[in-house]
Amino acid sequence: MESLIRWVSWRCALLVHAPSFHQRRGTVDPAYIGPRHRTHCYLIQCAGLAVGERTPLKPKLWMLHLWYSNPMKSPRSLAQRKADALAKLMARQAELWVASASPSGGAHLVPLSFAWDGEHLIIATEVTAITTHNIASARRARLALGGTRDVVMIDAILVRQIDLAEAPTIIAERYAAQADWDPRSEGGDYVYSVLRPERIQVWREVNEMAGRTVMQGGAWLV
């Protein structure tokens, strides 16, 4: 099935881009790069070509070479996806995207440092921050780690928010150790939001969309 997907994708790329390739004799032309030619731009990046540089092969052979030299990775098992997700959650000095919404439906997205205690994600935000108010109101947030081709998507619910002065030492120390930043030393008004994952999905490319859920209802599926 994977071979069929790769063959169809390659043929579609040839049908869309081959005429323009031949017209330009395999040369990367700046005028050719536009929103309609994202596949072409991606191939240019894969080949490491500069604008105006000639391709090393005939157009169709060049596309075929690039396709097979950058193959789609085989789908990971559920256990491997869980392990990869945990590795990202335990990484030091890492950041995640935090998406929240106001009561009126206004969306808000910010990157934040975090800590993972084995069951909960901990983030620190200023008392007056939009994220703080949104999470307190909705009692939930959506979090994302990794790039667009190596995604860990987390739907989490708020367990509690704790003012900096009242936070248990274990939470403050864990956050400072993993985030490599201690809000206690900032002197501002911060709160810790403790979030429990309800659903976690892990995928890289289209062949991993099926079976991407590794946690459901707060329980690991493997």
When the pLDDT of each residue in the chain is averaged and rounded to a whole number, the result is 82
> Where do the domains of the chain lie, and which CATH numbers do they carry?
2-69 (no CATH), 78-220 (2.30.110.10)
For residue range 19-44, what is the model confidence (pLDDT) as tens digits? Answer: 444 444 444 444 444 444 444 544 44
Euclidean distance between CA atoms 217 and 200, whole angstroms: 9
pLDDT band at 104 (very low <50, low <70, confident <90, very high): very high
Rounded to the nearest 10 degrees, how much is the dihedral formed by the CA atoms of 160, 166, 171, 177? 130
For the ranges 70-74, 111-115, 175-179, the lowest mean pLDDT is seen at 70-74
Euclidean distance between CA atoms 91 and 192, whole angstroms: 19
Q: Report the candidate in 74, 70, 50 with the shortest Cα–Cα distance to residue 10.
A: 70
Q: What is the pLDDT of residue 188?
A: 86
Q: Are 120 and 133 in contact (CB under 8 A)?
A: no
83: exposed, middle or buried (C-beta count within 10 Å: 0-12, 13-18, 19+)?
middle
For residue range 51-72, what is the model confidence (pLDDT) as tens digits? Answer: 455 555 555 555 555 555 557 7
Between 15 and 112, the more confident residue is: 112
